[in-house]
Amino acid sequence: MPELIEPTVDLRDSWLESSREWGTASQDGAGVWEASDLTTVAGFAEWVERLRQQSDESVELPPDRVHATYWWIVEDGNYLGAISLRHALNAKLLEGGGHIGYGIRPSARRRGLASWALGQVLGRARTRGIDRVLITCDDDNVASAKTIERNGGELEDIRETWLGTTRRYWIKL
């Protein structure tokens, strides 16, 4: 049975194995862009701590950033993917990034993990007092569009954003 957990250094080997599967593709929802060096134990630990600090609203962030909570999707001690919830939207996220980002490692896809994780995080967004969430995906990402739609996403539009051609969905909570 999968579960959502806080990022942890304990899953470094499994995370690195997953990263090799992704290759150069973007690992949406994982916050990889926050990392400076994932090849060392210390660098990995620093990244995990940085992800955890993102959710602490007492920590001041740069003006172009918003607080976010990251979870890893794990099963039997294996890292399967990640999902994040941004606590608010700035102008850039309203255009193209949305409240929630997620990604499932290639070998774990087609098992319903993204739909399950999204459903879990929608409940957590509701608990935070968010009454509707914006979720976006690439226009050609059929699997992600279906995941969002299965969770109640209503397509607002398809537009050119800083991410490319982007489908923008809203889910009322």
The confidence score (pLDDT) of residue 27 equals: 78
Q: Say if pTM beats, i.e. exceeds, 0.85.
A: yes
89: three-class secondary structure by DSSP: coil
User: pLDDT by residue for the chain (173 residues), tens digit each?
Assistant: 999 999 999 999 999 999 899 887 677 878 777 777 888 999 999 999 999 999 999 989 888 899 999 999 999 999 999 999 999 999 999 999 999 999 999 999 999 999 999 999 999 999 999 999 999 999 999 999 999 999 999 999 999 999 999 999 999 99
Cα 72 from Cα 5, distance rounded (Å): 5
